Structure 1
Amino acid sequence: MNDETKITLRLPADLHEWLVAQAKAARRSLNSEIVFRLEVERAAAGADAESP
């Protein structure tokens, strides 16, 4: 089973609207869109940390 944590997140209205539009275009829920983007950023940060 996947461990998950529930959080409350406050976003500026314009950022929320943009994320909703991005999620709709990708046919994902807003939650899935946020998780997807955070995972992509985490992978990129890990790759940056490994490069000399």
Structure 2
Amino acid sequence: MDEEKRITFRLPADLHAWLAAQAKANRRSLNSEIVYRLEGERAAAVADAESP
């Protein structure tokens, strides 16, 4: 990442708990887990857009 931006957003409590558990299982911070998952979704979206 060349530049980082801070954002604040709300999550439903059950989604937050699930993400926190996934982060712990993957030995990542909650922030890193969210970024990891968003980057994966972005890569998938780009791949879908590029396929015929």
Which residue does 1:24 correspond to in 2?
A: 24
Unaligned runs of 5+ in 1: none
- % identical equivalent positions: 79
Unaligned runs of 5+ in 2: none
Which residue does 2:45 correspond to in 1?
A: 45
What's the TM-score, normalizing by structure 2? 0.96
The count of corresponding residues between Structure 1 and Structure 2 is: 52
Q: Which runs of 4+ in 1 moved over 6 A?
A: none
What's the TM-score, normalizing by structure 1? 0.96
